[in-house]
Amino acid sequence: MRLLLSLFFVLFLIRASAFEKELDRFQVPGVAIAVVHKGEVVYLQGHGLRNIENQLPVTPDTIFPIASLTKAMTSHVIEELAFEGKLRLDERVIHYLPEFRLWDKRCTKRATLRDLLTHQTGLPKHDAIWFKTPEGSMSSDFVKSGLLGSLQHLEPICKLRESFQYNNLMYALAGVALERVTGKSWEQTIQERIFEPLGMQSSGFSVQTACESGNYATLYDRYANQLIELPPLDLSIVGAAGSINASLNDCVSWLQFKLSKPAPKVEVTNLRRAPYVPTAGVREVEGYGLGWYIEKYRGQELISHGGRFKGCSSYLGMLPEEQLGIVILSNTDHSGPLLTTALAYTLIDKYLGHDDVDWIMLHYEVYQRWQASQKPKERGAIDRPLKDYVGSYTHPGYGTISIELVEDTLMANYYRLQVPLRPVKENTFEAIHPMIMGRDFVFTDHCLEVAFEPKLDPIQFFAKSA
């Protein structure tokens, strides 16, 4: 069986119009792919490049940021602690974190650890707040020193448990709650309970250590129809939400372990599918578990999660009934999630014997529409002198943005970000920085508005008095 499956996947990838052509089409430098069936690795291969400039190939040992694949590991150890009687998933967050405060006082009093792990607090991402952290900070330090005091100033989009609102900040909080219970750092707990038992020797939390391995994937983004190289991604600040770096080989060890355990169950069902995600009539989201999306795929239960941050994307999926699992890691995020998902569904269909859906083309069409929408804004004229915009602007949750004039360019300094601003039209400037490329900075009377959270009105930063 193993030989037949190995031959099958090799033939599929060879037949897929020279697989590297798909990388070129989606403008993805490289991917690493693994398939596991009944505990056996039947496919394990890198494709494309981990570094374009030096033409270095992706291998199964190349280390990638796996981003939100981290969440399943966080949930796993919290479930273990609950089974051991050391915490309770349905205990209120304020029991473990008395400093916990949200915008909605009722939510503050009622939110549980389970709500944090299933994205039920009503708070949208607000991910820009991560930039407030100093370089080299660990997540727990930021949560204790900055995030816990800022949360009550971050606007929700709905009430507690009213709607699924994916939120990394809440997972970071869950990691700190874990620390309060165990007396150990979240990182140490993951190391002791997952990495060491499973032999995940290349996995870790430090991007510096990953780079020193000599086999770290260089990360890329796309702007103005070009791939741009990004600096190594330090995600230590997001902690339990997405800070793990790992190789394909290590992810396979985690996948094999999860396939040997009972499948995660649905915890919440109030999800709304994003309109751009192709379903082809064969996918139906059932809900979210503890760190996993759960859907019906051609009548079978599919457990999966993706990971994405600037310059990286990842996917891990399991068909428990078939004992089939797939891991795909990529070193770009602009189209990486589309390609990794398309490849995953294609591989699953080939295994199940279906060829009625061209997942590659469906996702490529989404990518083309995205490309068409990404044209840089036309440079416009402004009537006021640039020096009129100089000053400091503050928000009680997001902190301070300082605007300065450097030669003939306005610069927005937001903690670890230094962002050149390009004039678009009167009082409106476009951010020219890979981390927030294309965001508008709009100046009004005594106020700077920035669309840091797409689901809400622009965040208002008010001018500080001189």
CATH number of the domain enclosing 304: 3.40.710.10
**368 shares a domain with 405:** no
> Residue 214's pLDDT is what?
94
CA distance 256 to 74: 17
What are the E-state strand segments in 279-398?
A: 283-288, 293-297, 300-309, 312-319, 324-330, 391-395
Rounded CA separation 178/86 (Å):
10
Give every CB contact of residue 7 below 8 A, 6+ residues apart in sequence.
Answer: none
Residues 294 and 426 reside in one and the same domain: no
Q: Which amino acid is at 14?
A: I
Contact yes or no for 89/76 (Cβ under 8 A): no
Say what the pLDDT of residue 130 is: 86
- The answer on 71 and 204 residing in a single domain is yes
* Total number of domains constituting the chain: 2
Residues 4 and 52 in one domain: yes
CB under 8 Å to 131, separation ≥6 — which residues?
414, 415, 416, 417, 435
Q: With respect to residue 381, please indicate whether it lies within any of the assigned structural domains.
A: no
Host H or E run for residue 390 = none
Q: State the amino acid at position 338 in one-letter form.
A: L
Helix 70-83 to helix 168-182 angle (10° resolution) is 40
Burial class (CB in 10 A: 0-12, 13-18, 19+), 105: exposed
A 10 A CB-CB count for 167 gives 22
Are 30 and 48 spatial neighbours (Cβ–Cβ below 8 Å)?
yes
pLDDT at 1: 47
Domain finish residue from 351, 375, 399 = 375
Asked if the structure places residue 216 within a domain, the reply is yes
Which tokens belong to 5? 């499956």
Check which CATH number belongs to the domain holding 443 and give it: 2.40.128.600
Residue 402: exposed, middle, or buried by beta-carbon count in 10 A (0-12, 13-18, 19+)?
Answer: middle
Domain match, 303 and 417 both: no
Question: Which structural domain range is residue 400 located in?
Answer: 386-463
Measured CA to CA, the distance from residue 56 to residue 196 in angstroms comes to 29
Cα torsion angle, 107, 113, 118, 123, sign:
positive
Residue 458 lies in a domain: yes
Question: Is 330 in a helix, a strand, or coil?
Answer: strand
Query: Quick check: is 380 in a domain?
Result: no
Per residue of the chain (466 residues), what is the pLDDT tens digit?
Answer: 444 554 455 545 544 444 677 888 899 999 999 999 999 999 999 999 999 999 999 999 999 999 999 999 999 999 999 999 999 999 999 999 999 999 999 999 999 999 999 999 999 999 998 888 766 555 556 666 678 889 999 999 999 999 999 999 999 999 999 999 999 999 999 999 999 999 999 999 999 999 999 999 999 988 767 888 988 888 888 899 999 999 999 999 999 999 999 999 999 998 876 656 778 789 888 899 999 999 999 999 999 999 999 899 999 999 999 999 999 999 998 888 899 999 999 999 999 999 899 999 999 998 888 777 766 667 777 878 999 999 999 999 999 999 999 999 999 999 888 999 999 988 999 998 877 877 899 999 899 999 999 899 999 999 987 5
Q: Would you say residue 197 lies in a domain?
A: yes
Residues 366 and 450 in one domain: no
pLDDT at 15: 46
Collapse the DSSP code of 305 into the 3-class scheme (helix H, G, I; strand E, B; otherwise coil) and give the result. strand
Identify whether residues 350 and 420 lie together within a single domain. Answer: no
Instruction: Please tell me the distance from the alpha carbon of residue 108 to that of residue 432, in angstroms, as a whole number.
Output: 37
* 138 & 222 share domain: yes
Domain shared by 397 and 318, yes or no: no
Same domain? For 247 and 312 the reply is yes
Amino acid at 451: A
Alpha-carbon dihedral 218, 221, 227, 233, rounded to 10 degrees:
-20
Distance, CA of 338 to CA of 274 (rounded, Å): 13
Do 327 and 423 have their domain in common? no
- pLDDT at residue 69, as a whole number: 98
